[in-house]
Amino acid sequence: MTAPLRPGDPTIVNVALGDRAYDIVIGRGQLAGLGARAAALKPGAKAAVVSDATVARLHIGAAEAALKAGGLSTGHIVIPAGEGSKSFACFESVCESLIDMRVERGDLVVALGGGVVGDLAGFAAAVVRRGLDYVQVPTTLLAQVDSSVGGKTAINSRHGKNLVGAFYQPILVVADTAVLDTLPPRQFRAGYAEVVKYGLLGDAGFFAWLEANVKDVLAGGAAREHAIATSCRMKAAIVARDERETGDRALLNLGHTFGHALEAAAGFSDRLLHGEAVALGMALAAEFSARLGVLAPDKVARAIRHLAGAGLPVSLGEVAGGVPDGDRLMDLMAQDKKVKRGKLTFILLRDIGDAYIAPDIDPAPLRAFLVEKLNAR
């Protein structure tokens, strides 16, 4: 592991995808260099900045100024904040606005925001004029360590989340860790769940480092950059191995099968943020791994202690407004994409830092496990 960074030093992580490879630039103040970096890739381009109303109020001025300083002309499209914007209606309006702005093949879409803006603007970039280059400028911790990297773009259908989309890689990611200073603490903690996920799924040393440095990461110290860079390195490596999730990339779903069911049950609302659902999902995945005899109980306790210590929910009783019964949760999990011939695919843990794909989980013991957890609330 590298030493924590000094402020001002960017870390650059390359996502090695051949002719579609790109850099993730991570560091405090890196937004100021956005224009120079974008111009180096697309000299003379027009940059259409897509953002949500909250992020635009805080950061769009700096982003457009940086783009102009790099010699690019700019325009912007501002959508309402929140998951509701990953809709066909909002997607249509962003596409039409890009065409209104006369954004051409040589131009650039800049997604400035959290995962909602990144997923929506990335998908619009994938299809408007059959593909425009785009840059991710993630402004939430979740987006910096997860959604801005890897090229999954999508909007939601009335049948569920992320059901309409494309694999479409950005040409650059600029993660300015200073923009996280304006992020509400609850959103920051939710993003931290995805950071813990990388330690749990594949790097015991990183998990131990997080145990020692969590306060500093949450407080915004120098450790924050290190946590983000380490997370991006791991995601970049997994994406480079398995861009379209035919194998290893599924490991990134640790905690997400339980998590998505709980998020759906809470109506994708503020009752349970995505990262909170993932924290709870990882706690359940660890406990279920122990139930199946593959993970030692002291390791379960260690994983849960860390998540809870970071202020994340780890038991079903902590979900505001309650959770539905075992059958309903099973239905919601079965609606997840990862069901084959009646068996569920789960990401389970053999150890801290050692997750594996279990494609053949029987519904019956899983249901019994959930009912027991529900009764224990």
Ligand X SMILES: NC(=O)c1ccc[n+]([C@@H]2O[C@H](COP(=O)([O-])OP(=O)(O)OC[C@H]3O[C@@H](n4cnc5c(N)ncnc54)[C@H](O)[C@@H]3O)[C@@H](O)[C@H]2O)c1
Give the binding site for ligand X (CB under 6 A). 52, 54-55, 58, 81-83, 86, 113-117, 119, 139-140, 142-143, 146-147, 150, 152, 161-162, 179-180, 182-183, 187, 274
Q: Catalytic one among 130, 158, 159, 341?
A: 130
User: Is 235 tagged catalytic?
Assistant: yes
Whichever of 150 and 199 has its CB closer to ligand X, that residue is: 150
305 is catalytic: no
Q: Which CB sits closer to ligand X, 45 or 139? A: 139
User: What distance in Å separates the CA atoms of residue 199 and residue 203, rounded to the nearest whole number?
Assistant: 5
- Quick check: is 76 catalytic? no
Would you say 58 or 358 has its CB closer to ligand X? 58
Shortest CB 166 distance to ligand X, Å: 11
Q: Nearer to ligand X by C-beta: 249 or 291?
A: 249
What residues contact 132, with CB distance under 8 A and at least 6 apart?
Answer: 98, 103, 105, 107, 108, 109, 125
Out of 37, 189, 197, 235, pick the active-site residue.
235
DSSP per-residue string spanning 11-66: EEEEE--GGG-EEEEEETTGGGGHHHHHHHHSTT-EEEEEEEHHHIIIIIHHHHHH
Choosing from 197, 256, 299, 306, which is the catalytic residue?
256
Active site residue 159: no
Give rounded-to-5 percent helix, strand, coil for the chain.
55, 20, 25
CA distance 316 to 69: 50
Q: How far is the CB of 78 from ligand X (least distance, A)?
A: 11
Q: At its nearest, how many Å lie between ligand X and the CB of residue 374?
A: 26
DSSP letter for 4, please.
Answer: P
* Catalytic residue from among 28, 42, 274, 373: 274
10 Å Cβ neighbour count for 247?
A: 11
The token pair at 327 is 């059958």
CB 16 within 8 A of CB 236: yes
| Shortest spacing between CB 245 and ligand X, in angstroms | 10
* Positions marked active-site: 130, 152, 194, 235, 245, 249, 253, 256, 260, 274
